[in-house]
Structure 1
Amino acid sequence: MDPITLGYLGLALLVVLIFFGVPVAYAAAFTGIVGITMIRGFGVASGLAGIIPYANSASYSFSVLPLFIAIGFLAMHAGITTAAYDAARVWVGRAPGGLATATIFASAGFAAVSGASTASTAVFTRLALPEMEKRGYDQALAAGVVAVGGTLAALIPPSALLVIYGILVEESIAKLLLAGVIPGAISIIVYLIVIFTVVTINPKLAPRQPAYSMMEKLKTLPQVWGIFGVVGVILGGIYMGWMTPTESAAVATAIIFIMSLQKKMKFVDLKNGLLDTVKTSVMIFMVIWGVMIFVRFMAFTGLPAEITNMIVGLDVPREYILISVIIMYLLMGMILDGLGMMMLTLPVVFPALMGLGYDPIWFGILLVKLIEIGVVTPPVGLNCYVVNGIRPDIPLEKVFRGVAPFLIGELVIVGIIVAFPELILALPNMMK
């Protein structure tokens, strides 16, 4: 069989397997092994399947991923997230939609020590959602804020998705992490504008809260010093060239661990945090291993190069192709999880867009933002399902209704990323 045709059949098989619920790691590995067997024989396929997991994991740069994951789980089990929310509530709770605003700020703080969107959503569904309900907030708005706030963990460093993207396309993880800072800040601002607009139109959705004195506000600051320390270590160390991403992640993990001890974290919480870290890390590495086998199969077929040449040769402006890719990801986000989308499409889409002259760091930020839109978009908005799973008394359609105004804001953010790529690349380009 012609290798190009076999490549198309391999892609189709992968899509079908994922559609029927086969985990991405197994679907990608199975398709890759079968495809390589048909091209090079079973001996080569089995040999590559045995070599690739070690060859793609025994790398110093890979250790950054479990360290970033550990930061988030230790912070969650130590109660550091609760302190961040309390501080945000005291400082901005009095403003229109103040508790919703506090949830966004606290989600950003958790994002700075986490990197996992669903973990952030789960934490604030338990923490912030009951608080907003108790203070008279509309349940749909409260649920939507929690779901959308979780998406910040994908952009604000440390971001697991950006690390995985950097590993897959062999780009600088340090530059990717720095590139996420400005679009993360833009996302926060847009979310706050959406909240302010919604509660201004209908003030009954979010009753005003009591004001706190400046002394009460200042007393909350010591509770969040560790989060600022983690952010400073990760971003400052990388930006100044003092530390690699892995080194900064190790120091940040140590800071969170010390904070956990200061908060007298129980041994069972420490154990649960470490177990969650191991489980999540293994899951992600299994996906990477499976996809790497599939990518090797794609390389044997020559399909990525064929598609790249075809797209580059199209007699249309490259902006039209980029818009088509954005629409494709928005549609895929309605039916696939973020990691699956990235693994399924990058082997083909990435070389094609690089052939059109787009910057790989900028595209990584755009891709992660599109993935995060998917996790709050019906019918398969993973963050919305997390909210509903923890709070089954809140119907799924109500969660999606609360998210709806934010989807308009998300499209505005995508427009800013596309129209002003220099904003995304400003910090990476200044990195020492």
Structure 2
Amino acid sequence: MDPITLGYLGIAALIFLVLVGVPVAYAAACTGIVGMMLLRNSTVAIGLSGIIPYANSGHYALSVLPLFITIGFLAMHAGITTSAYDAARKWVGRAPGGLATATIFASAGFAAVSGASTASTAVFTRLALPEMEARGYDSRLAAGVVAVGGTLAALIPPSAILVIYGIIVEQSVAKLLLAGLVPGVISMIVYLLVITIVVKMKPGLAPLEPGVSFMEKIKALPQVSGVFAVVGVILGGIYLGWMTPTESAGVATAIILVMALFKKIGLRDFHAGLLDTVRTTVMIFMVIWGVMIFVRFLAFTGLPGTVTDLVVNLDVPRWVILLGIIVMYLLMGMILDGLGMMMLTLPVVFPAITGLGYDPIWFGILLVKLIEVGVVTPPVGLNCYVVNGIRPDIPLESVFRGVTPFLIGEVFIIGIIVAFPDLILLLPNLMN
């Protein structure tokens, strides 16, 4: 069989396996092994499948992932997230949709110590959602705010998915983390504007909160000191060139650990934090191993190079091709999870993007934003399923309806990223 044809069949088989419920790691690994057997022989296929996991796990830049994940889970189990939410509530509680606004601010703070979208959504479903409901907030708005707030963790450093993107396409992890800050802040501002507009149009969705004295607000500031310390170490250390991303993550982990000990974290909570870290890390690495085996199979077929030549030689403006890629990812986000979608498509899409002259750091930010839109888009909006899974009394349909106004804001954010690439690359370029 022609190798290019076999490559297309491999992609089709992989997509089919994922759609019928086979985990991405197993689907990618099995498809890749069978494909290499057909192209070469069983000895080559099995030998490479044994070498690839070790070769890719031994990458120094990947050591930052378990550290970022540890920061998030320790912060959650030590109650640091709860303190940040309480401080945000005191400062912005009187604004229209004050508790919803506080949830977005607190989600941004948790994003700065987490890097995991679903973890952030799970935390604030337990923390903020009951608080908003108790104060008379509409459950659809409250659920939508919690689901969309979790997406900030993918852009605001530290971001696990940006690290994985950097490893796959061999780009600077430090530049990617810095590049995520500006669009992360833009996303937060747009979400706050959406809340304000929705509440102004329908005041009954979010009752006003009682006022808090200025002294109470000042006393609440130390509650977010850990978040600011982590952000300062990670961004400051990388930007100033004092530390690599892994070194900054190590120092930030130490800071969170000390804060957890000062908060007298219990042995059970400490054990739960470490166990959650191990589970999440193993899941991510298994996906990386499986997809890398599949990528090796695609390299043997020559399909990525063929697709790149085809796309680059199309007689249309490059923005038309970019628009097609954006629409493709938005549609794929409705049926596939973000990590698997990114790892399955990048071997083919990334060479075409760079061949068209687009900046790889900028494209990484755009891709992650598109992935995060997918986690709140029906029918497979993972963050929405997390909210529904923790709170089954709130129908999934209600969660998606609560997210709907924010999807309009997401279109605006994507437009900014596409129209102003220099804004996205501001911090990485300054680092140079």
Alignment of 1:343-382 (within 5 A): 343-382=343-382
- Aligned counterpart, 2:112: 112
Residues 18-417 of structure 1 aligned to structure 2 (within 5 Å): 18-417=18-417
Q: Give the counterpart letter for 1:392 in structure 2.
A: P
Gaps spanning 5+ residues in structure 2: where?
A: none
Measure the CA separation in 1 of the matches of 2:358 and 2:162: 17
Could you tell me how far 1:141 is from its partner in structure 2?
A: 0.4
Cα distance in 2 for partners of 1:29, 1:397 equals 34
Question: Which amino acid is 1:15 matched to?
Answer: I
**CA apart distance, 1:39:** 1.2
Query: Deviations along 1:13-65, whole A, 9 cap, x unmatched?
Result: 11111111111111111111111111111111111001011111112211101
1:210: how far off? 0.7
Task: Provide the C-alpha distance between the structure 2 equivalents of 1:256 and 1:184, rounded to a whole number of angstroms.
Answer: 22
Equivalenced residue count is 432
Give the letter for the 2:135 counterpart: R
Match of 2:243, SS? coil
Which secondary structure state, in structure 2, belongs to the residue aligned with residue 56 of structure 1?
Answer: helix
Mapped to 1, the partners of 2:379 and 2:11 lie a distance apart of: 23
> After superposition, what is the alpha-carbon deviation per residue over 1:65-110, rounded to whole angstroms, capped at 9, x for unaligned?
1100100011011010000000000000001111100000000000
Contact 2:62 2:164 in 1 (8 A): no
The secondary structure found in structure 2 opposite 1:197 is helix
Q: Give the Cα–Cα distance (whole angstroms) in 2 for the partners of residues 326 and 254 of structure 1.
A: 39
* Secondary structure in 1 matching 2:393: coil
Normalising by structure 2, we get a TM-score of 0.99
> Per-residue CA shift, 1:99-154, capped at 9, x if unaligned?
10000000000000000101100100110011111111111101100000000000
CA deviation vs aligned residue, 1:292-311 (integer Å, no higher than 9, x gap): 11111111100000000000
**3-state SS, counterpart of residue 208 of structure 2:** coil
- The answer to whether structure 1 residue 4 and structure 2 residue 13 are counterparts is no
Aligned-pair distance for 1:287?
0.5
Alignment TM-score, normalising by the size of structure 1: 0.99
- The CA distance in 1 between the partners of 2:22 and 2:59, in whole Å, is 28
Is the CA contact 2:129–2:146 (under 8 Å) kept in the aligned structure 1? yes
Question: Which deviations, in whole Å up to 9, do the C-alpha atoms of 1:358-405 show, x marking residues without a partner?
Answer: 111000000000000000001111111111111111011111111000
CA–CA separation in structure 2 for the residues paired with 1:298 and 1:315: 26
- Distance in 1 separating the partners of 2:395 and 2:135: 20
Amino acid at match of 2:217: K
Q: Distance in 1 between matches of 2:100 and 2:307?
A: 45
The letter for the 2-side match of 1:117 is: S
Shift of 1:223: 1.1
Note if 1:422 corresponds to 2:422: yes
Q: Distance in 2 between matches of 1:310 and 1:96?
A: 51
Query: What is the rounded CA distance, in whole Å, between the counterparts of 1:312 and 1:83 in structure 2?
Result: 51
The one-letter amino acid paired with 1:111 is A
- Counterparts of 1:344 and 1:246, CA distance in 2: 26
Deviations 1:253-310 (A, max 9, x none): 0000000000000011111101110111011001001111111111110000000000
C-alpha separation in 2, matches of 1:173 and 1:408: 30
Question: What per-residue deviation string (whole Å, max 9, x for no partner) do you get for residues 301-354 of structure 1?
Answer: 000000000000000000000000000111111111111111111111111111
SS of the residue corresponding to residue 22 of structure 1 reads: coil
2:299 is paired with a residue whose SS is helix
Identity across the alignment (%): 78
For the residue of structure 1 that corresponds to 2:425, the secondary structure is helix
**How far apart are the structure 1 equivalents of 2:332 and 2:58?**
32
Q: Secondary structure at the match of 1:157?
A: coil
1:195-230 CA-partner distances (Å, limit 9, x unpaired):
000001111111110111110000011111011000
Given that residues 104 and 149 in structure 2 are in contact (C-alpha distance below 8 angstroms), is that contact kept between their aligned partners in structure 1?
yes
Partner amino acid for 1:53? P
SS of equivalent to 1:348: helix
State the 4+ residue runs in structure 1 displaced beyond 2 angstroms: none
Q: Supply the distance in 2 between the matched residues of 1:81 and 1:67 (Cα, whole angstroms).
A: 17
Please give the alpha-carbon distance, in whole angstroms, between the structure 2 residues aligned to 1:192 and 1:224: 20
Cα RMSD over matched residues? 0.6
Whole-angstrom CA distance in 2 between matches of 1:352 and 1:27: 25
CA distance in 2, matches of 1:60, 1:166: 12
Task: Give the secondary-structure state (helix, strand or coil) at the position aligned to 2:57.
Answer: coil
Residues of 2 paired with 1:139 and 1:60: CA distance? 44
Equivalent AA in structure 1 for residue 427 of structure 2: L
The whole-number CA distance in structure 2 between the counterparts of 1:379 and 1:16 is 17
Contact preservation (8 Å) 2:226, 2:255: yes
